[in-house]
């Protein structure tokens, strides 16, 4: 009788970003062994790291800095170890965010500025479709589904030049509320979604399973 495969380990970064228990439970259902912590040994050594984010861009950046998360996330990405950002956890990966006229520095993993959605009604709250690339790993099997968004700000443009010809260009998924905005990015070990997969029903559960399954391949 074959042994039961060991589940991938996932650390959900615990830095004060509101209620993240739903993300922990959703990742557990997706087949991961999940730890909610900011301990460096767990953040750096887990098969996957999830960076949730709720609230304002500036406050999330300040809270991440308080637990030395910027350095740890940078080390993981540089070492090719998977990271998944969710909601503001996607936004802080960009160069900057502008809220109420104030520009604040982001992590700068990707070029672009987080800004107010140009829509008649904000926040953008509820279910929306996405337009995903055909070879997306995250959206395999759910590219036609709807996902749950709660946000007033987003990234409206994508301008990322791949310098190394052998590098695979990032895969960018879009949605729309007032204007097209980035709904997800897949860039080697670094992935992120503007929507909340843990609140997106069966489609979100499948997306998280896709990501957890990719950790087995990366291990």
Active-site amino acid positions: 87, 196, 198
Query: Could you give the CA distance from residue 135 to residue 171 in angstroms, rounded to a whole number?
Result: 8
Do you find a cis peptide bond into 123, omega within 30 degrees of 0?
yes
DSSP, collapsed to helix, strand or coil, labels residue 112 as strand
User: b or e along 164-180 (b: 16 or more beta carbons within 10 Å of the residue's beta carbon)?
Assistant: eeeeeebbbbbbebeee
Q: Where are any strands of DSSP class E within 38-93?
A: 48-51, 83-86
């Amino acid at each position: 009788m074959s042994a039961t495969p060991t589940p991938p380990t996932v650390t959900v970064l615990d830095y004060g970003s509101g209620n993240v228990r739903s993300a922990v439970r959703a990742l557990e259902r997706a087949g991961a062994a999940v730890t909610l912590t900011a301990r460096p040994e767990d953040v750096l050594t887990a098969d996957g790291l999830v960076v949730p984010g709720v609230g304002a861009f500036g406050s999330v950046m300040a809270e991440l800095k308080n637990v030395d998360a910027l350095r740890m996330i940078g080390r993981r990405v540089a070492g090719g170890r998977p990271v998944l950002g969710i909601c503001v956890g996607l936004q802080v990966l960009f160069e900057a965010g502008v809220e109420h006229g104030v520009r604040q520095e982001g992590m700068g993993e990707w070029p672009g500025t987080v800004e107010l959605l140009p829509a008649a009604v904000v926040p953008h709250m509820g279910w929306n479709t996405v337009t995903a690339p055909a070879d997306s790993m995250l959206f395999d099997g759910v590219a036609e589904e709807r996902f749950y968004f709660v946000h007033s700000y987003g990234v409206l443009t994508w301008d990322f030049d791949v310098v190394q010809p052998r590098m695979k260009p990032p895969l960018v998924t879009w949605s729309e509320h007032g204007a097209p905005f980035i709904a997800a990015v897949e860039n080697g070990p670094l992935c992120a979604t503007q929507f909340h997969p843990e609140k997106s029903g069966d489609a979100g559960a499948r997306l998280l399973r896709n990501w957890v399954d990719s950790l087995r391949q990366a291990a």
